[in-house]
Amino acid sequence: MTRLMLACLLSIAAVGLIAQNYPHAFPRAGTRQILDNARVTVWEVNWQHGVSQPFHRHKYDMAGVYLRYGAITVTSLDGKDTSGQVFPVPRPYFQVKGITHREEARGKPGDPERLAIMIDLKDAPASTVALSGAAPAAFPRNEAKNVLENERIRMWDVSWTAGQPARELQYPQDAVEVVVTGGTFMLRGTDGYETARVVAPKDARFIPRGHVESVRATEGSPRTITVEIK
């Protein structure tokens, strides 16, 4: 084997070793874990000005909702800028696992910083909990607009109006609900117990398959985007 061939093989091996050592996308500076269970980890993600970020690899398929637009630079391993275009919010989002890149805020202090709620979709099997049929399925329904769907997820944009009658709902899939616009809900469980739930933008909760609740908005005009996990 020539010295050149040996150098090439060592270089390839080094690249492969480096590639295996890229950290997962989260946690990193500007992120906060909201919840974690066997099916998902949910993150609040802020792209902060002046914060250097490493290259990272997305270990899981990821769904999310952008809640505030801010310019960022996304750099792939070959040095290309894949930042994309300006978009309105809220913006539903899905990304397959395995993507490796670096994301950094672009702009000056005082410019808007991008904000999102991102959901790592773990490789755990889908829930097989039997549905009771005690209430209508939460989705589809008139108040919910299907805004993104693929083989992994289905996303529903739901607008609520205070004063409307309560809706009894049963969730047909494990789901993550992300709050876009705040307000107050009154929730009643199957045991008849009622509780007020005050929500604000960025709030998120996990809803297991088969969960049944009666829901009505009592204050404000809440808006949520719910990610059903297939």
CATH assignment at residue 160: 2.60.120.10
Query: Would residue 15 count as lying in a domain?
Result: no
73 has a pLDDT exceeding 90: yes
What is the band of 109 on the pLDDT scale with cuts at 50, 70, 90? confident
Query: Would residue 8 count as lying in a domain?
Result: no
| Beta carbons within 8 Å of 156's beta carbon, 6+ residues apart | 139, 140, 144, 145, 146, 147, 225, 226, 228
Domain count, the chain: 2
Query: Would residue 40 count as lying in a domain?
Result: yes
Whether residues 111 and 149 fall in one domain: no
What is the band of 190 on the pLDDT scale with cuts at 50, 70, 90? confident
- Domain of 74 in residue numbering reads as 21-121
Query: Would residue 35 count as lying in a domain?
Result: yes
> What's the pTM value of the predicted model, to 2 decimals?
0.89
22 has a pLDDT exceeding 50: yes
Query: Would residue 151 count as lying in a domain?
Result: yes
What is the band of 133 on the pLDDT scale with cuts at 50, 70, 90? confident
Give the sign of the dihedral formed by CA 154, CA 129, CA 190, CA 64: negative
Query: Would residue 12 count as lying in a domain?
Result: no
Query: Would residue 14 count as lying in a domain?
Result: no
